[in-house]
Amino acid sequence: MSLQRADFFVIGTDTGVGKSLVAAALLRHLGQERGRRTVGMKPVAAGTDWVNGRWCNDDVEALNAASNVQAPSAWVCPYLLREAMAPHIAAEHENITLRLDHLKACFAQLQTVSDSVVVEGAGGFIVPLNATETLADLAKALALPVVLVVGLRLGCLNHALLTAQAIRQAGLPLAGWVANHIDPEMPALAENIAALTLRLDAPCWAQIPWQGVALAAGTLPHVPFTLPLFDAPPP
């Protein structure tokens, strides 16, 4: 019997809080420890470098490396934008309109070749995609459980609680959250994690310690996820 699907939408409290790290680690966990066919999706990536004759984005490359299914790049990253800025602005500079129907179609294609698709957002939860729609609208359109990456630094309590509120107002389940220690000098670290644990009303799937130069060098640490099992076939 086929595995029950376990698809997730990974978003963050802000940009630079470790969404790619968590999404890639989750892909490897689902693939290596749960025996799933996994593929990552970056619906919109803004910021590229020309490498070996093609435009590359670090987030997309990290997802590809962590996936055990190699899907067409047009499905994995439907919109690969040159400039590293807000996606809707980068798209406007290239005369491109980011379309939810196209993103949904690409996601559906990825589902046909996998057991788990891990979708990584861009920036925060309500980042604009076009004149009328945001990343939250995409998450709603895909109807996926959300994994919230909390960058542990000053201000993270407000950012995390507001984001969790927005997720629930969108009618989506907050499946779990990951505490990522991105500021080595953050005071009262344990107390902040305790405050989030008390208030987020969702399980903490993992705590990632400060990575230092290892993270900057692109080394993917082992993340001991405590997410529920998704290996039973549907009833």
CATH code (residue 13): 3.40.50.300
Angle at which helices 189-199 and 156-169 cross, to 10°: 20
Q: Tens digits of per-residue pLDDT, 21-76?
A: 999 999 999 998 888 999 999 999 999 888 888 888 999 999 999 999 999 999 99
Residue 233 lies in a domain: no
How much is the pLDDT for 217? Answer: 38
Residue 129 lies in a domain: yes
Residue 225 lies in a domain: no
* Spatial distance between the Cα atoms of 204 and 33, rounded to a whole number of angstroms: 19
Residue 223 lies in a domain: no
Q: Is residue 42 flagged as an active site residue?
A: yes
Does residue 234 register a pLDDT over 90?
no
Residue 224 lies in a domain: no
Could you tell me the residue range of the domain that residue 121 belongs to?
A: 8-216
- Choosing from 19, 42, 104, 140, the catalytic residue is 42
Beta carbons of 77 and 48 less than 8 angstroms apart: no
Angle at which helices 135-142 and 156-169 cross, to 10°: 50
Percentage of the residues of the chain whose pLDDT score is greater than 90? 76
**How sure is the predictor about 209, in pLDDT bands with cuts at 50, 70 and 90?**
confident
Residue 226 lies in a domain: no
Per-residue pLDDT averaged across 127-135, rounded?
95
Residue 222 lies in a domain: no
Q: Average pLDDT, whole number, for the chain?
A: 90
**How sure is the predictor about 15, in pLDDT bands with cuts at 50, 70 and 90?**
confident
Read off the pTM. Answer: 0.91
